[in-house]
Amino acid sequence: MPLLPPRWRLLLVAIAALSLPILSGLAWLLLTGWFDQVHGLVPTGRLGPDNWRFLWEAVGGRPSVWIPLRNSLIFSGVVATVVVLASSMAAYAISRLSFPGRAAYLGLVLVLHAFPAVSLIIAIFFILRRLGLFDTLTGVILVKASLELPLGIWLMKGFFDYLSWEMEMAALVDGVSRWTLFWRIALPMVRPGLLALGTFALLSAWGEFILPFTLIVSNQNWLMSAYLQTFLGEAFTDFGMVAAVGLFYAVPVIVLFLLGQRYLLNIYGGGVKG
């Protein structure tokens, strides 16, 4: 690698300095997860897999970690799918069809997005109770997906607005129905948007804590975030295990990133190419 010009070296130093708090946090997580004891960032105890025993045994009356992991995978996967499908259909309708109340609906969606989830949680609790969906994965999935929809609809509307009308006219003359037009022409052309939205929804659902924490009680329905929280709520907190569970919780996201690296960077870099 060629030596960087001085200006760039300065920039690198600045970036490194800004990233230091996050990097040291990650370093702490890694060290604490693998050593018996850590003072600051200096390990003092033995290196060993003791903190990771939650992987093969149930710890302190909790269910096996594989149950919340499975729940979290289902939760995030379904939320992302629902959000991508529902927002793209709604966005297409808003972008392309004219129907009464279109502008009002668009405004309403934006207003809905302004409500923080926490402020709605009591109402949501009562609604889920009434529907018999309290303490179920289905219930939390529906709530989380609904909260993600406003952003998704606006994002996808932006993508659909850029599709050329001539393209749709051409498809109509070629003989498509509205539905075929949506599935076979419009959707494939906004694929970058679908991927971006799907990724955001997946990550947001994976990291979701408040909703599953308040709307799920039975430990068989726990998500990973709630499982992790139980370690912090104890009289004596085993930070080694908290770190290990935290690392374990992050593994699927890292795997997702490694698999989709090229695509994701393209999206984050603003590369919306048709």
- Which residues of this protein are in contact with other proteins, per CB under 8 A? 164, 166-167, 169-177, 180, 185, 188-189, 191, 274
Task: Please identify, using beta-carbon distances, which residue of 57 and 166 lies nearer to other proteins.
Answer: 166
| Residues 125, 156: Cα–Cα separation, whole Å | 29
Strand segments, DSSP code E, in the chain are 38-39, 42-43
Give φ, ψ of 35 to 5 degrees. -115, 155
Collapsing DSSP to helix, strand or coil, 128 comes out as helix
| Residues 144, 138: Cα–Cα separation, whole Å | 10
Q: How far is the CB of 155 from other proteins (least distance, A)?
A: 20
Collapsing DSSP to helix, strand or coil, 272 comes out as coil
Q: How far is the CB of 174 from other proteins (least distance, A)?
A: 4
Q: How far is the CB of 92 from other proteins (least distance, A)?
A: 16
| Residues 227, 245: Cα–Cα separation, whole Å | 9
Task: Please identify, using beta-carbon distances, which residue of 113 and 191 lies nearer to other proteins.
Answer: 191
| Residues 28, 38: Cα–Cα separation, whole Å | 8
Q: How far is the CB of 156 from other proteins (least distance, A)?
A: 17
Question: What is the largest distance, in Å, between two alpha-carbon atoms of the chain?
Answer: 74
Task: Please identify, using beta-carbon distances, which residue of 5 and 274 lies nearer to other proteins.
Answer: 274
Q: What are the structure tokens assigned to 124, written together?
A: 């949501």
Q: How far is the CB of 98 from other proteins (least distance, A)?
A: 12
| Residues 248, 55: Cα–Cα separation, whole Å | 9
Task: Please identify, using beta-carbon distances, which residue of 181 and 216 lies nearer to other proteins.
Answer: 181
Q: How far is the CB of 90 from other proteins (least distance, A)?
A: 22
Task: Please identify, using beta-carbon distances, which residue of 18 and 170 lies nearer to other proteins.
Answer: 170
Task: Please identify, using beta-carbon distances, which residue of 89 and 189 lies nearer to other proteins.
Answer: 189
